[in-house]
């Protein structure tokens, strides 16, 4: 069984408004399956396979929005590695801040 969250509605009754908390906005665009499976982004997916969303007036990677909404800011100079290797996944437990070099090393290791 999967849980599907709907986008929160703001005081004016409009879904997806800027006043909606980031956590509710993220949950409105994912399907959360039972267990430890990935939270797959259901919004726009760029040609490179990563989910994209808007936050603070900028279009950003959905996994970064989710990480910042649930965990906090990504440390300066670090990138988020998808431990599950699923680019559409926004589950905070599947994201780890690492250096670009480590992210590249892991990506190459996963391809072999």
How many domains, the chain? 1
Q: What angle do CA 61, 82, 22 make, to 5 degrees?
A: 40
**Does residue 31 sit in helix, strand or coil?**
strand
The CATH number that applies at residue 44 is 3.90.75
* Residue-level pLDDT at 103: 95
What residues make up the domain containing 51? 2-111
Q: What angle do CA 27, 84, 39 make, to 5 degrees?
A: 15
Question: pLDDT of the chain along its 112 residues, tens only?
Answer: 344 444 444 444 555 555 678 788 888 899 888 877 999 999 999 999 999 998 778 899 999 999 999 999 999 999 999 999 999 999 999 999 999 999 999 999 998 8
Model pTM score: 0.78
How far does Cα 26 stand from its chain's mean position?
7
* Residue-level pLDDT at 20: 75
């Amino acid at each position: 069984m999967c849980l599907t969250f709907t986008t929160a509605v703001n005081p004016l009754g409009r879904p997806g408004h800027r006043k909606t908390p980031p956590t509710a906005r993220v949950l409105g665009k994912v399907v959360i399956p039972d267990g430890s499976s990935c939270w797959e982004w259901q919004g726009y997916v760029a040609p490179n396979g990563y989910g994209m969303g808007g936050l603070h007036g900028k279009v950003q990677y959905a996994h970064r929005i989710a990480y910042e909404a649930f965990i906090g800011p990504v440390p300066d100079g670090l990138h988020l590695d998808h431990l599950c290797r699923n680019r559409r996944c926004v589950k905070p437990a599947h994201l780890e801040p690492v250096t670009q070099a480590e992210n590249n090393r892991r990506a190459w290791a996963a391809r072999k």
